[in-house]
Chains A and B, each alone.
Chain A
Amino acid sequence: MISPLPPAAVFILGALLIPFFKGHLRRIVMLALPVLAFINLIHLPLGDSWVVPFLGQELVLARIDRLSLVFGYIFILIGLISTIYALHVEETLQNVAGALYTGSALGVVFAGDFFSFFIFWELLTVFCVQLIWARRTRLSMGAGYRYLLFHAAGGLILLAGIVMRVHHTGSIEFGLIGLNGPGSLLIFLGLGINCAWPFVHTWLSDAYPEATITGTIFLSAFTTKAAVYALARAYPGTEALIYIGAAMAGFPIFFAVIENDLRRVLAYSLINQVGFMVCGIGIGTQLAINGAVAHAFNDVLFKGLLFMTMGAVMYRTGKINATDIGGLYRTMPLTCIFCIIGAASISAFPLFSGFVSKSMVMDAAGGEHLRLVWFILLFASAGVFHHAGIKIPYFAFFSHDSGLRPKEAPLHMLLAMGLAAFLCIFIGSFPQYLYSILPFQPVGYEPYTVPHVLAQTQILFFSALAFALLLLSGIYPAEIRCVNLDADWFYRKGGRFFYGLMDTVFNNVNRVCDQWLAKGVTGGINRFCRNAPVRISWWLLMPFYRLGKHAAEKSRHYAQTIKAAVENGVVPIGLSAAVSGLFVLLLFFLN
């Protein structure tokens, strides 16, 4: 029997084989990777395996426990769904980058030491950027570079923290850290950048809508969820995360409502949902951690489904702005239905997946008497229904008739969307299967109670009423073809201001330096050096001329003669000998 490999290895080794196959054979290889990875994962024993000695420490490439397994399952599952969705893509770069990105995410989740964790963490960035650049537009190139800059900075902060941590503890084991020193704070911040915390979230809303149609599905699943996993592993119960998570859940709603690009609306919605997870990790109780992990699992599915439906619209029409599309339900009914299922799931409708996980985090917040946080999460629940639950399907498939009559999405895309939609309903209807794989057992949480169902239904229907009244009263903001800036204002506008400031300051400093140093001091030294031999010769010889038979009025004539002789390099040898001799004498007496 073959020993199981580290979970990441199946995708990484398989990705290296992809370029050697073409057509159907390549598709079979790509589909086989998640299947093999799953078979491999369930054969790995609980605990640490693939422990490799390294510089006196131990690298752990497969740490299997309940927390890593949940993320491993969902990453492999979305790897399969994304691969089915992307079967039409025959571009080697995208095929390979997708598989390597999935493998890197698995590597992060199953790494038991800082070294391998960091390596896989950085690989996530490298392959993610490939999926952004693969679209090959001017906007995607710019977004990819900004993504790279953000994550390179985050990676450096993380590395600095890891170095300090390892130096302090003497161990490279990656486990519970907690906020207890500068090293742990730097690691915390490094993870936070990948988690899209407020003010460092702009890479997400900037880059995800610019990636390829299929690449965005991979992107929506891995980077932020890997960061959520890392926070759940290293910082459970860290109070700061409660407020960071609440802010993440709240602020994107305002930007999502005014956004015209529907994939960017989903990107903001992604930050909003990750906020729930971060908040749950911060609360740190068993219910909260279970809720955060369950919501991460569900979010991968319903957010992936929503991105897939918008990708299908984009694939068929080439457009994704609310101003350009609308009325597509006529010719894309199945995609429309799948989109509504994704929207119902993210909005936490009863019998859909979001309902059984989001409420765990909210109940945990209520249980810890975090009243303000609970209200913010309630507002965020209503807001996400507003922008992702209603806005996305309404503006894409209903709203005004754009006149577009595209074909229904291709079969493989429908299959992928159908699989994700089925899982959203299945988990929402039978949550015990999801609960059985959560980190803390027994879960002991019952989502389908009368008060909970009634309260959630109330929130959703009042949100729907608010949307309808906003629209009918003309208060709902118009979707405009433009770029909305949020925290990226600081580097887009602020960067221009900074450039202008630096231009003004340094060019003026340069001008002053040129005036005073280049033209003033060095000019004076230059003039002095040019005249110095003449002047020195004159100072030395003049007293002798005055003592001699020559009249004083002729001294000016001699001065000019000496000056001309020195400048032309034709000094009489006698004069040179006299000056040299006098100079030696002067030095002798001075000594």
Chain B
Amino acid sequence: MSSVTMPESRPDRGAAAAAEPIARPKVPWWLVGLAFGTLVSGQVVGFLTSEPDRDMGHLQKIMYVHVPAAWASFIAFFIVFWASVTVLWKRNERADLLNAAAAEAGAVLTGLTLVLGSIWGRPTWGVWWTWDARLTSTAVLFLVFVGFLALRALTDDPERRARWSAAVGILGALNVPIVYMSVKWWRTLHQLQSSPSTVDADYVLGLRWNAFAFAFALAAFVTIRYRTALFALAADRRAEARALAGGSTDAR
């Protein structure tokens, strides 16, 4: 495989990069506010509008955080898939940074989904954990993305890091349809997929509202992490360029 030559790393940009001022990474405050506002209001709406379930009682309210966390992680892994393909196909450096940002947020949301599912499982199934197809495939998904982050942390060469993590990203994202369909493909303790079409009408508003809230939170986290990484890269390049410029002056 040929090496990744990122446009920003061309040596002819060195002198200009040394002098270039770098603007601070911007925080999308409107998106942060939207995410926070919809998270708080979504949980209030969920509590106020949903009657206790016939069998699960108030435990049903865990659905408003457990299901949106899982959906948001799927969105994150869709971004990972797209970014990973772009990295391998077009050797795009920005896609690599987006890949890392989405994978990190996706791993956090998958971990949260597992913990919330465990809290829900204890009073309904009588166990915190069972080797059910849905739970196991979700745990595998989580571990793949923990591996993705470990791989990035342990690989110094940026080109190799981009290629390897893109390969792991594609492998992990391909697990998402397996996680989603596991409740249909295998006989599981976990119920069928919850969606506005499968839950009681009383629960649809809360579920939709919280799904949007988690999606906005994901968008805010990924945007800030991506912009920060982009900025850190530019700062590294500037430091490198300054060091090179200083070295050539000393040599004269």
B partners with A: no
Instruction: Give residues in A with beta carbon < 8 Å to B.
Output: none
Instruction: Give residues in B with beta carbon < 8 Å to A.
Output: none
